Structure 1
Amino acid sequence: MKKIFIIIIATAISAIGCSSDTPKNTQFTPSGSNDDTNDSFILNPNDTQNYMVNPNATQETVALFYNLKTLSKDKFIIGQQDAFNSFYNNNQGDSDIKKITGHDPGLLGSDFMFITDDNNDETASNWFYQQEQKIISDAIEAYNKGLVNAFSWHFREPYEGNSFYVSEMTDFQINNAFQSILPGGTNHEYYKQKLDKVAQITNNLIGDDGKKIPIIFRPFHEFDGHWFWWGKPYCTANQYKQLWQFTVTYLKDTKNVDNMLFAFSPDNQFSTASEYLERYPGDNYVDILGMDNYGDFNNQGEIGVTNANNKLQIISNLAKEKVKIAALTETGYAVTPGQNSPIQNLYSNNIYNAITNNNNEIAFMMFWNNTENSYYTPIPGMSDATDFIQFTEKTKSVLENNMPNMYQLP
């Protein structure tokens, strides 16, 4: 029997976003990218499906791909994980970004973690099912407001279903979890059951307009790190590709999910295009080329800004070559008042310049979630509030109030 695992939500969510890598002060320049990238390419609405994982995607999902790609030419959307249900000081109501700017973020991050938890028995009194219903409600609200929805998946190991961190797993689980969910593995049917749940939720997300809500699905992220059981030390590159390809094919072809874009997002531990693509499953299985990056903004100064920009430049160039979408899929710096101080000009200088310098085409970026004790985005009255407001008001920044219609083709 699987152990019963009860989580304190604020503690669990606050921990999972930030990778445990140690920031490096080394500086590098992009290499391995194609210098002949065609910056003049303009995606034709009628050709969009040719570049997508699912050529049979819903019209709204095709429009989302097209509009993200087009917007990235000169803008980027600002997003935040759990913006509608996780707040600094537990001050519920408007999103923390709306509290400080007057507008919601343009992208809402959610997670399939509680939805697919072994303890979710789908009864009204079940805490995990209650979280599922909140997440669904938030995603619908975001779509109705014109926001983009992005779902990550902190998938617990398949043996006891207790954790996604290797630091909390047994040696047996660490050495066998990934292989066990591959086709033919001892937990492959269990994995398919979890994908069935992901498909059920996604296929039944319906907006007030009666349309299926498109989502970005970002599984097995930060896979070049060592903290998650799907990380680089625990599976080969071919095994990672095999699982990714199976996951996409199963959702798309077996479960008929037609409202999903697929995002590939390592952590920031690469310095060349070839390193970035080491575990890339292929253009037929990826819509969005992402990167999670906390380390380069952790008191790294201008060296960190340059390093982050160079990595985003690699992704941006690859997205141009492949006609994919580039994104900074997780980032930020957690401030816990009384323990650490805000970084001066983190938002308006460091993060903004890292995204926009060298004409990078980044469609969106996402801050991790605020919690009771710490924040990635400040609230009114904090010393870095003005810096954040300036960041959101810059030329290329997009919040809810200046979002184009993401779900309609021109």
Structure 2
Amino acid sequence: MNKTIVLSAIALLCFFAAFAQNGVRGNGPIDKKATVETKALYSNLKKLSKKHTLFGHQHATEYGHGWFGGENRSDVKSVTGAHPAVIGVDFSGLSGLPPAEIEKNKAALKKNIIDTYNRGGVTTVAWHFSNPVAKGGFYWVDSLSLPAVKYIIPGGKAHDQYKEILDNVASLLKDLKGNDGKLVPVIFRPYHEFDGEWFWWGKPHCTTEEFTTLWRFTVSYLRDSSNVHNVIYAFSPDNKFNTEAEFLERYPGDEWVDMVGMDNYGDMGRDNRYNLEAATRKLTIVSDYAKKTGKLAAFTETGLESIPNPNWWTDVLLKVMKSNEMELSYVLVWRNDSKSPTHYYAPYPGHSSVPNFLKFYQDPFTLFEKDLSGIYK
């Protein structure tokens, strides 16, 4: 056997060994039956994150500063000419309401998600899940709330009720057909900020075992029992961790998570408190974990309410994201309320941060919807 053939054989063996190792470490959705489009979204987000980060905005196309509804509208588009690359929506309206209202909410969500897909954008779904066993909504209210996690996991007295709620979620996810006839992939981010105390699924209100059981059951029920195969599952604590071990304290395991993220307002200027070193360090923990396990990473929520710092976009957000060779699929800022004069996180026409946001928009590092091409192929 000549030297060329031997070297070629060795190279081929190395390739397959690396391929097998990547299979163990991830580099694909945890759902082995994921649709072609879901696998493509995962792969393309992974590739893009090496040099870019998609910009996202919660409820961007549903309403904005001083307006509600309207076709193909967003405050970000009004400022830049392009929608955010990632649009955030919420499953909050799929439970705890009269059936007719739930169906109305489903129809609105369906249209929003499909419209985003047809334009070539990406949808991420939060879940401000109203407490299914007590009053108080999704927040923890001392005088009203019950620690619902232990009631809705297998063996809990409200477990069947939880399955009915998940049936509603599953029916929507399986009804998301784009103009191309394909199921629309979404990034689903349930039970976020679980390390805080403000939600009923928060750390003081359930044990680690209860939380991880809830997470695993939710994924399994949607994926394995309900045959939902167009979901990327995202895990995102708040900013209360300082080490990888703390970040992973309530992690359900690599086989149950596609994307790791972090929500962080506290280090990014809230109450005029800037700690960019801490924000960078924590986000680097997230990115590094994704790199070594083949997962996706994202800055799943951040922002500065009212954006009083006119250079926040480049001097704070972009500075943090460009540090330490982080690989982040997207960054999402919170919503622009339609009625409140102060509750907004993205600029609207005439806002003082518009010139700086346009610099942020024009930076090759950031991607908006019109920058995306074939992300589902």
Q: Distance in 1 between matches of 2:135 and 2:105?
A: 17
Q: Secondary structure at the match of 1:376?
A: coil
Other-structure match for 1:27: none
Q: Is the 8 A contact 1:49 1:62 kept in 2?
A: no
Other-structure match for 1:370: 336
Q: Secondary structure at the match of 2:89?
A: strand
Q: Distance in 1 between matches of 2:315 and 2:272?
A: 10
Q: 1:113 to 1:300 in 2, by over 3 A?
A: closer
Other-structure match for 1:213: 184
Q: Distance in 1 between matches of 2:361 and 2:56?
A: 11
Residue among 33, 55, 58 paired with 1:56 = 33
Q: Is the 8 A contact 1:268 1:292 kept in 2?
A: yes
Other-structure match for 2:91: 112
1:130 CA displacement: 2.8
Other-structure match for 2:355: 386
Other-structure match for 1:9: none
Aligned length: 353
Q: 1:193 to 1:137 in 2, by over 3 A?
A: same
CA RMSD of aligned residues (A): 2.1
Q: Distance in 2 between matches of 1:238 and 1:348?
A: 40
- For 1:159, the aligned partner's letter is V
Other-structure match for 1:234: 205
> Is it true that 1:156 corresponds to 2:130 in the alignment?
yes
Q: Distance in 2 between matches of 1:168 and 1:211?
A: 45
Instruction: Point out which structure has higher relative CO (alpha carbons under 8 A, 6+ apart).
Output: 1
1:299 CA displacement: 4.9
> Is it true that 1:98 corresponds to 2:77 in the alignment?
yes
1:301 CA displacement: 7.3
Q: Secondary structure at the match of 2:255?
A: helix
Q: Secondary structure at the match of 1:65?
A: helix
Q: Distance in 2 between matches of 1:50 and 1:365?
A: 20
Q: Distance in 2 between matches of 1:66 and 1:43?
A: 14
Q: Secondary structure at the match of 1:136?
A: helix
Matches within 5 A, 1:3-402: 51-90=28-67, 92-93=69-70, 94-114=73-93, 116-122=94-100, 126=101, 128-160=102-134, 162-167=136-141, 170=144, 173-174=145-146, 176-299=147-270, 304-335=275-306, 342-371=308-337, 372-373=339-340, 374-402=343-371
Q: Is the 8 A contact 1:75 1:397 kept in 2?
A: yes
Q: Secondary structure at the match of 1:141?
A: helix
- For 1:399, the aligned partner's letter is F
Q: Is the 8 A contact 1:291 1:329 kept in 2?
A: yes
Q: Secondary structure at the match of 1:155?
A: coil
Q: Is the 8 A contact 1:205 1:212 kept in 2?
A: yes
Q: Secondary structure at the match of 2:180?
A: coil
Q: Secondary structure at the match of 2:63?
A: coil
Aligned residues with identical type, % of pairs: 40
Q: Distance in 1 between matches of 2:59 and 2:369?
A: 15
Q: Is the 8 A contact 2:27 2:294 kept in 1?
A: no
Q: Secondary structure at the match of 1:295?
A: coil
Q: Secondary structure at the match of 1:297?
A: coil
Question: Scaled by the length of structure 2, what TM-score is found?
Answer: 0.89
Q: 1:354 to 1:43 in 2, by over 3 A?
A: farther
Q: Distance in 2 between matches of 1:399 and 1:392?
A: 8
Q: Secondary structure at the match of 2:262?
A: strand
Other-structure match for 2:12: none
Q: Secondary structure at the match of 2:150?
A: helix
Q: Distance in 2 between matches of 1:73 and 1:193?
A: 40
1:133 CA displacement: 1.7
Q: Secondary structure at the match of 2:96?
A: coil
1:393 CA displacement: 1.3
What are the superposed Cα offsets for residues 19-42 of structure 1, whole Å, 9 maximum, x if unpaired?
Answer: xxxxxxxxxxxxxxxxxxxxxxx9
1:160 CA displacement: 3.9
Q: Distance in 1 between matches of 2:220 and 2:121?
A: 27
Q: 1:197 to 1:43 in 2, by over 3 A?
A: farther
- For 1:74, the aligned partner's letter is K
1:51 CA displacement: 3.7
- For 2:258, the aligned partner's letter is D
Q: Is the 8 A contact 1:107 1:147 kept in 2?
A: yes
- For 1:104, the aligned partner's letter is H
- For 1:95, the aligned partner's letter is S
Q: 1:98 to 1:76 in 2, by over 3 A?
A: same
- For 1:362, the aligned partner's letter is L
Q: Distance in 2 between matches of 1:362 and 1:331?
A: 13
- For 2:361, the aligned partner's letter is T
Q: Distance in 1 between matches of 2:66 and 2:127?
A: 25
Q: Distance in 2 between matches of 1:201 and 1:43?
A: 35
What are the superposed Cα offsets for residues 141-191 of structure 1, whole Å, 9 maximum, x if unpaired?
Answer: 000011111111111111246501112752xx33x3111011010111111
- Which structure: larger Rg? 2
1:50 CA displacement: 6.3
Q: Secondary structure at the match of 2:250?
A: coil
